[in-house]
Amino acid sequence: MTEDPLDFGDPADLERLRTAFRAWLAEHPLPERLPDEPLPVFLHRWHRLLHSGGWVGLDVPEVYGGRGLTSLHQVAVSDELGARGAPGVPRVGYLAHALLEFASEDQRRRLLPRMLAGDDVWCQGFSEPGAGSDLAGMSTYAARHDDGHYTVRGQKLWTSYAQYSDRCLLLARTDRTARPHASVTAFALPLDRPGVTVRPLRAANGDDEFCELFLDDVRLEESERIGAEGDGWALAMTTVSYERNALDTGHLSKYGLLVERLRRTAHERRGELPDGLLSEIGRCVVDYEVLLAHARRRIAERLAGQPAGPESSVDKLLMTRAEQRLYATALKVFPQEVHGPGGDVFAQYLYSRAASVYGGTSQIQRNIIAQRVLRLTDGADR
Ligand SMILES: Cc1cc2nc3c(=O)[nH]c(=O)nc-3n(C[C@H](O)[C@H](O)[C@H](O)COP(=O)(O)OP(=O)(O)OC[C@H]3O[C@@H](n4cnc5c(N)ncnc54)[C@H](O)[C@@H]3O)c2cc1C
């Protein structure tokens, strides 16, 4: 396995960026998480530190607070972070893409620099109690008034870290008569607005990542609508296409660390580990190599100027399989040791179980591949 398994198209330019970032990281290592410091607060400190060095929003135009480079520069930075087991900046990449594509010029200039700097932390208010996979079936409703403002009523669910956020990219229906996919509209909701209640939920692993969001006649201005009425579905699909993409997350290099460690252990303890476990390690290596092959394909697509699309569902499925098998295998190979490279193996194992649900379940990814990639049916909307 080479040291840098991802091969970017313009080696000189990206290598210069990687060298500069490595030098910066040597002087600005990942800070210690303080005792009792909630994970999002810690990640926010890290976000701000990365931003102070110019390492957030590399692919966002300078006029909106980024560096005006390409998405591959951003991927290279994520890759370097993952290779050190350091976290990236949560949620910014794909939400920034949604704003870049759908927000007005004025909104992009107002919202993006603050999002990139971490001055405003954003969350994603898509899912509802009755609308997760069937997102278009949402019932949160934004009623438009004659002067252009809206009153929003409804409930969101599974909104990650809303209690630590300032703004929410919110989806709501704006037309009860139009077909569902044509009646969803997006808003930039300030979470301190009267009528918004955020209630954290405690998950089985002890984390309070999820929140319920209650919207009780919340006033939103026309200037807080992102895109036109009815653009919400396209915005949601753009957002999740970037969210599901294998490239931007730094996950690949993080998996690479653990795969390499498992591979080494398999050699060192060849006569000692049961055959079943050795073949599990072999499968982990194969999953990882397949994922890398896909990532290389995405890199070629990006270099050709192609945006993320429904093919991201293939990445999401492959990432889910690789991640779940990897941490399940690591737990068996290192049973007494819960601390591995990249963090706590047991905690990561627990979180890996959610990979087949967040960003759309594995079943939904298969539906998308059937409908929108392979065109096996005419269900064109998901
Ligand atoms: C860690 C985590 C973080 C999350 N963060 C956020 C967030 O920040 N913001 C947000 O909006 N949401 C978030 N979610 C919610 C996530 O998007 C939903 O959980 C997901 O879309 C599934 O929806 P659901 O839970 O309502 O399950 P359901 O849609 O009720 O699905 C239940 C089961 O039925 C299956 N199913 C449903 N429809 C079909 C179908 N048509 N074909 C085949 N099978 C089907 C599903 O695959 C699943 O197995 C998060 C979820 C997790 C786990």
Specify the ligand 1 atom closest to the Cα of 131: 26
Residue 62: predicted pLDDT: 97
Question: What's the CA dihedral at 45, 50, 53, 55 to 10 degrees?
Answer: -160
* 16 Cα: distance to centroid of ligand 1 (angstroms): 40
Token couple for 241: 């296409």
What 3-state DSSP class applies to 213?
Answer: strand
Q: Which residues line ligand 1 (CB under 6 A)?
A: 123-127, 132-133, 158-160, 354, 357-358, 360-361, 363-364, 367
Residue 10: predicted pLDDT: 61
Specify the ligand 1 atom closest to the Cα of 130: 26
Query: Per-domain residue ranges for the chain?
Result: 11-90, 122-229, 244-373
Token couple for 341: 């490279």
Q: What is the CA radius of gyration of the chain?
A: 21
Counting ligand 1 atoms within 8 A of each CB, the residue from 169, 212, 356, 357 with the most, and so the one to mutate, is 357
10-residue block means of pLDDT along the chain (382 residues)?
Answer: 54 87 96 92 96 95 95 88 87 91 98 97 96 95 97 97 97 94 97 98 84 98 97 94 78 90 93 94 96 86 84 93 95 76 73 92 96 80 46
> What length is written for the chain?
382
122-229, CATH topology level: Butyryl-CoA Dehydrogenase, subunit A; domain 2 (2.40.110)
Residue 339: predicted pLDDT: 61
Q: What dotted CATH number matches 244-373? A: 1.20.140.10
* 68 Cα: distance to centroid of ligand 1 (angstroms): 34
pLDDT in tens, 244-258: 877 766 788 889 999
Determine the Cα–Cα distance for residues 141 and 213; give it in Å rounded to an integer.
Answer: 14
Counting ligand 1 atoms within 8 A of each CB, the residue from 237, 317, 361 with the most, and so the one to mutate, is 361
Counting ligand 1 atoms within 8 A of each CB, the residue from 91, 95, 122, 127 with the most, and so the one to mutate, is 127
Whether residue 243 lies in the annotated active site: yes
* 364 Cα: distance to centroid of ligand 1 (angstroms): 9
Residue 6: predicted pLDDT: 58
Arch. (CATH architecture) of 11-90 = Orthogonal Bundle (1.10)
Specify the ligand 1 atom closest to the Cα of 360: 21
Residue 4: predicted pLDDT: 56
Q: Which of 80, 128, 243, 323 is catalytic?
A: 243
